[in-house]
Amino acid sequence: MEREISARVLRTILRYADSVGGAPVVGELVAAAGVPEDELLDENSWFSSALVVRVLERLVALLGPDAPLHAGRLGMAAGELGTLDTAIRAFLEPGSVFRRLPWVVSRVSRVGVMEVSAARAREVTLSFRY
């Protein structure tokens, strides 16, 4: 299996699914992944982007098209990024956090590149190439 996406991403998706749909939804996502749940939750594991896409497609089918967005919001909550969380929280100004987001993404994804396209005092524009 290719090491493209950190299990931190899947852990966040599963935590969101559990908070909204409970164990049955989590079970369906784990089945879609075809990998044991404990491996999906291990922040040291990495998975192929194809596996993550399967899980996201099932998430959308079960919880609706906004589910990945809500899971992503959960992923930015304090403590969700494990050891990366401390680095992010060191930059308390939102603009600083968003300017550092490409660095964070590079730590949890080995496919695609996120860049800051424009940065102003109260606005940051990000781009992501897959």
Whether 32 shows a pLDDT value over 60: the answer reads yes
Q: Return mean pLDDT, the chain.
A: 82
Which DSSP symbol is given to 36?
A: -
Return d(Cα 34, Cα 79) in angstroms, integer.
Answer: 27
Q: What is the pLDDT of residues 7-22, one digit of tens each?
A: 888 999 999 999 999 9
Return d(Cα 119, Cα 99) in angstroms, integer.
Answer: 8
Nearest to 67 by CA among 100, 98, 102, 26: 26
State the pLDDT at residue 106.
79
State the pLDDT at residue 83.
58
Confidence of residue 43 (pLDDT cuts 50, 70, 90): confident
Three-class SS state of 5:
strand
State the pLDDT at residue 85.
63
State the pLDDT at residue 77.
66
Whether 38 shows a pLDDT value over 90: the answer reads yes
Q: What is the pLDDT of residues 63-97, one digit of tens each?
A: 999 998 888 877 766 566 665 666 656 655 666 66
Long-range contact list for 81-87, CB < 8 A, 24+ apart? Answer: 81/8, 81/108, 82/8, 82/43, 84/8, 84/108
Tokens of 120: 């102003």
Give the mean pLDDT of 93-120: 75
Domain ranges of the chain: 1-75, 79-130
State the pLDDT at residue 39.
94
